[in-house]
A and B are shown apart, each in its own frame.
Chain A
Amino acid sequence: MKVLVPVKRVIDFNIKPRVKADGTGVETAGVKMSMNPFDEIAVEEAVRLKEKGIATEVVAVSVGVQQAQDTLRTAMAMGADRAILVLTDVAVEPLGVAKILKALVAKESPDLVLLGKQAIDDDMNATGQMLAGLLGWAQGTFASKIEIADGKATVTREIDGGLETLTLALPAIVTADLRLNEPRYASLPNIMKARKKPLETIAPADLGVDVTPRLTIVSVAEPPARQQGIKVESAADLVARLRNEAKVI
């Protein structure tokens, strides 16, 4: 079984993003970038499937700028076998990413595409579902557990009221939630090895995909700041203020 894992290069989750002064977006120049945390979880799951002898090959894919190579090398250091960079300098929306991935699925014929549930920059939570729609495949989103047996995937999903379990006919799309696993750190020898693993670069046009965005960004602004609060001295003071000042209890 072949597993395709799309990984996105995003601003590191520890960094507080700054809105650009001209209101056109968020400052990314000189900011630490890392693999989207949900995608680390997806890579980890794919590598574990390989270690269990269920997956035979794990292919990492990224759509993005030249530096997304680093993200792909990280995926390979974690255990992915090879990588594909779909090189583009334009901002590709989930619809465009899903179309690119659909074309790659046609080339690679994976049995499972494991994505992150959302990218922490644009927070769209859309790409996996859209790819599933375009392919007409089953989808198991927000997965906290995956089991593969007898040509089926059994997926436990985090939903609003608790947990839901579905079985999916393969090939299928699964998107990873936070509690699916704890991703490993790549060891130094594996980072060295990853440098020699194959990384192919292609252009969206090679795949015959039009990625013209459908959304234009009118403006990006800081959210309104909260007013500075106060420290209270005691529980009694807190309760009195909640009652008399804030009038919420």
Chain B
Amino acid sequence: MAVLVFLDHESGIIRQASRSAVTAARALGEVHALVTGDASVAEAAARIDGVAKVLRAAGAAAAHELAEPLAAVIADLAPAYSHIVAASGASGKNVLPRAAALLDVQPIPDVVSIVDADTFVRPIYAGSALATVKSSDAKKVLTVRASSFDPAPAEGGAAPIEQVTVPEGPALSEFVSIALSQSERPELESARVIVSGGRGMQNEENFKLLNPLADRLGAAIGASRAAVDAGFVPNDYQVGQTGKIVAPELYIAVGISGAIQHLAGMKDSKIIVAINKDPEAPIFQVADYGLVGDLFDILPQVEAALDKAG
């Protein structure tokens, strides 16, 4: 049987994380992609390498990826599929568990490794442990961690596109508005380098001191929960158990103590650098390179060293 992958998009662009879900799904069978939105989204999905067919749920009910109509569409399509997969982003986590309930299936969230068609590895307790679980459900519903699977190439496929109808139902929820943070920088989940700031940045103004470093490295900017709660940066910057899970080549933590909930989101990064004035800060336990000192002194020095190195 084929595998149904829900690809979520933001402003018409399919998220890179969803292409990672395609890679994960290919290990389980032929991939059919479900998308919402304009025809251009379906066309982009059809070009993804490894997608054999695209199903487009068009129309007002499916717009904005509302959970109620989308879960109903997925439940309608489910009989033809062995597995239903999405990236573990906000959209997949909103929609898939609801669809699973309609199918009387226990979902398997945040899969980091596929053992076989029934058996999956997922982190629990903020990544303090890895559980291998085997599902006895006839159909599997899973979300996968993008940081654990390489994204399928955006180009290379030429899949046919079919329309699917959204089942009629009462309008339970209604879209009002969306406020996306504007940034010229790479997306956190796909960035090669991330510069992340914590409470040690002190305030919104000082947080901007990370920009010159991020500019030099072509980095995305992340933050700890404390920095987001204090209003230094918007919510979508948060890295951690309850924020984004990232695994860049280089993660630079500046003024972040390294609470387990933060580590949960970044400890699979290839190289971790910590800049912190407290030599005992737990972040140093996971850092490959630690620099103890005042970040306000160190940041300009790092920039100067980068400029000198050219």
Contact with A along B139-160 (1 / 0, CB 8 A): 0000000000000000000000
Instruction: Kindly provide the distance from the CB of B198 to the nearest chain A CB, expressed in whole angstroms.
Output: 15
Instruction: Kindly provide the distance from the CB of A248 to the nearest chain B CB, expressed in whole angstroms.
Output: 4
Interface size on A, residues (CB 8 A): 81
Residues of B within 8 A of A246 (CB): 250, 270-271, 288-289
| Residue of chain A at shortest CB distance from B108 | A215
CA A226 to CA B266, docked complex, whole Å: 12
Q: Is the CB of A234 within 8 A of B301?
A: yes
Residues of A within 8 A of B134 (CB): 215-216, 218
Instruction: Kindly provide the distance from the CB of A70 to the nearest chain B CB, expressed in whole angstroms.
Output: 20
CA A172 to CA B170, docked complex, whole Å: 13
Q: Is the CB of A214 within 8 A of B292?
A: no
Decide if B128 is an interface residue (CB 8 Å cutoff): yes
Which residues of chain A in 136-150 are interfacial with respect to chain B, using CB atoms and an 8 Å cutoff?
Answer: 136-142, 144
Question: Which of A154, A162, A169 makes the CB contact (< 8 A) with B171?
Answer: A169
Residues of A within 8 A of B110 (CB): 123
Residues of A within 8 A of B107 (CB): 94, 124, 126, 130
Question: Which of A166, A238, A241 makes the CB contact (< 8 A) with B174?
Answer: A166
Selecting from B26-34, B55-63, B77-85, B87-95, the interface stretch reads: B87-95
| Residue of chain B at shortest CB distance from A161 | B180
Residues of A within 8 A of B279 (CB): 231
Decide if B272 is an interface residue (CB 8 Å cutoff): yes
Residues of B within 8 A of A172 (CB): 172-173
| Residue of chain A at shortest CB distance from B183 | A161
Decide if B131 is an interface residue (CB 8 Å cutoff): yes
CA A177 to CA B236, docked complex, whole Å: 12
Instruction: Kindly provide the distance from the CB of B36 to the nearest chain A CB, expressed in whole angstroms.
Output: 14
Residues of B within 8 A of A231 (CB): 279, 284, 289-292
Task: Give the secondary structure class of A's interface.
Answer: mixed
Contact with B along A89-109 (1 / 0, CB 8 A): 000011100100000000000
Contact with B along A109-138 (1 / 0, CB 8 A): 000000001101111111101111110111
Question: Which of A95, A122, A144 makes the CB contact (< 8 A) with B101?
Answer: A95
Decide if A159 is an interface residue (CB 8 Å cutoff): yes
Q: Is the CB of A19 within 8 A of B129?
A: yes
Decide if A179 is an interface residue (CB 8 Å cutoff): yes
Residues of A within 8 A of B71 (CB): 133
Q: Is the CB of B305 within 8 A of A235?
A: yes
Residues of B within 8 A of A16 (CB): 128, 260
Decide if B38 is an interface residue (CB 8 Å cutoff): no
CA A98 to CA B179, docked complex, whole Å: 31
Decide if B98 is an interface residue (CB 8 Å cutoff): yes
Decide if A186 is an interface residue (CB 8 Å cutoff): no
Q: Is the CB of A11 within 8 A of B309?
A: no
Chain A CB within 10 A, most for which of B71, B93, B270, B290: B93
Residues of B within 8 A of A158 (CB): 90, 235-236
Selecting from B42-50, B117-125, B202-210, the interface stretch reads: B117-125
Interface, chain A (partner B; CB < 8 A):
11, 13, 16-17, 19, 26, 93-95, 98, 117-118, 120-127, 129-134, 136-142, 144, 154, 157-169, 172, 177-179, 213-223, 226-227, 229-232, 234-236, 238-243, 246, 248-249
